[in-house]
Structure 1
């Protein structure tokens, strides 16, 4: 590993660290307890047990169970699960890079793009890079048979976070069930996407991916700020991977993990309350409330 990269992994620009920390601390609140903690119910797996490198192998390092991937002017990097899943719980603890990260996406997501190019499904957790002094945006998104064909229909909901995601690892996860998709941050549900019709819900098997890549055209304030490679490398750190679900080889009787305590088909009232808290305080964009969108294309709203 280049010595410059090694030093960058552990030394962040002090001015940006302090400015972002002050923003977070001035508005941060502790979320109400969801009352149910899926991370305590699902065992972690080693990276090699569940994933393989997909691209940019020279920009990927595995050290004692912790994966580091990075983007520079030559390449980014990505990984992919060994199995394809029909449903399940998929997550990891992730730590983001401080400082100037505009234009850069760090992600964990589900997709079947390699099986259905131009007509794939996708469920995303994406961290949109930022400029010093401004918080990261966590974007959740759902695509249904609609990417790459010129008719991309995103279903984005964007959040700020109640903590600084560059200071420590936090757990981010997607629970994909036949009836609903739920996005979690440290076991707090932040978004629920119910299955209202087959046309608006992803049902085909998907792999789990993670990546860091240059999305300068749209990632930061709709492309206003681009990736600036004077600040390279741009680093994403992952650990505590969790994969528990029904693969394409699993019997039809296989079911994904339970969302909540026994007795609830979906979120419990306490989980719903914590989700409402997150949306009331940290939701910054909801595609259903965007007057610029053609709502005939998003009937679930």
Structure 2
């Protein structure tokens, strides 16, 4: 067995009884300075359901509308994140999100990289859904690549950092700098490579968001609020030179995640992953060859 995997196995054994994730040893959020909402974004829809303060953005959903925002620039790669605080209580049917997409540029065959918080009922935890679309659409032909997690903390009690690191070779999803999912580029056909904007939104997805649509949004509990701050946008825009490189995935010397980061990711997946599309026998695996 190669030394790298022996090291990962030994570190996992050491950390198996930990109360929280083992330290990833590298903190990409600290390598990127935060920007204000106005420096990097604009409202996209629901302007009456959005409030910008000095350091934060609040968006909300009620029976009239939700709200969404969009980055000023389109990116080819980069590190994109925000600190988010979710609504407690009954939030079934409600989606709070941070994602990349080129749907407006390529309607019907767009790419997308998602962090979505699926609302819940009291006493049950939020589901954090990560997803990757490649030339997909919402017309029934979409091929989602969903991996879902519970969290090792209550995301309604405080702000936590959520981020997507998108490189030409791989995608990394991070929570408080802990990698929770790595999606490598195995072929051009299974990897998003066209420029995308960064979006965020809160909206009613009652048809599927909570336990496959069992529980719907209940506007008795409105407004449903999403709070964002510490926006991070560091990447290569479509105007950037060919020499532009996205931020590093890990500490110097590793092409991808370090052994310590792999240990932290494996801890999360062993303890908090609740769905993996690759392991779903209902899926047509001819459509998801990367599995």
TM-score after normalising by structure 2: 0.93
Aligned with residue 246 of structure 2, among 256, 268, 273: 256
Give SS of 2:135's match. Answer: coil
Aligned with residue 215 of structure 1, among 202, 205, 221: 205
Q: Counterparts of 1:50-129 in structure 2 under 5 Å?
A: 50-129=40-119
Matched, 1:195 2:185: yes
Deviation string 1:14-67 (CA, Å, 9 cap, x unpaired) is xxxxxxxxxxxxx99311000000111111011100000000000000111210
Match of residue 35 from structure 2: 45
Give SS of 2:34's match. Answer: coil
Tell me the CA shift for residue 74 of structure 1.
0.3
Q: Number of residue pairs matched?
A: 275
Q: Counterparts of 1:170-249 in structure 2 under 5 Å?
A: 170-249=160-239
Match of residue 123 from structure 2: 133
Q: Distance in 2 between matches of 1:150 and 1:163?
A: 35
- In the alignment, is the contact (CA less than 8 A) between 1:33 and 1:270 conserved in 2? yes
Tell me the CA shift for residue 149 of structure 1.
3.8
Label 1:245 to 1:161 Cα distance change in 2 as closer, same or farther (>3 A). same
Bigger mean CA deviation after superposition, 109-118 or 146-155: 146-155
Match of residue 160 from structure 1: 150
CA RMSD of aligned residues (A): 1.0
- In the alignment, is the contact (CA less than 8 A) between 1:28 and 1:162 conserved in 2? no
Give SS of 2:136's match. Answer: coil
- In the alignment, is the contact (CA less than 8 A) between 1:117 and 1:148 conserved in 2? no
Label 1:28 to 1:137 Cα distance change in 2 as closer, same or farther (>3 A). farther
Deviation string 1:184-203 (CA, Å, 9 cap, x unpaired) is 00000000000000000000
Q: Distance in 1 between matches of 2:118 and 2:18?
A: 20
TM-score after normalising by structure 1: 0.90
Deviation string 1:243-267 (CA, Å, 9 cap, x unpaired) is 0000000001100000000100100
Match of residue 284 from structure 1: 274
Q: Distance in 2 between matches of 1:238 and 1:221?
A: 25
Please list every run of 5 or more consecutive structure 2 residues that lacks an aligned counterpart in the other structure: 1-16
Give SS of 1:256's match. Answer: coil
Query: Runs (4+) of structure 1 moved beyond 6 Å?
Result: none
Match of residue 283 from structure 2: 293
Match of residue 264 from structure 2: 274
Match of residue 8 from structure 2: none
Q: Distance in 2 between matches of 1:223 and 1:148?
A: 17
Q: Distance in 2 between matches of 1:144 and 1:110?
A: 12
Please list every run of 5 or more consecutive structure 1 residues that lacks an aligned counterpart in the other structure: 1-26
- In the alignment, is the contact (CA less than 8 A) between 1:28 and 1:163 conserved in 2? no
Q: Distance in 1 between matches of 2:265 and 2:140?
A: 33
Tell me the CA shift for residue 150 of structure 1.
2.5
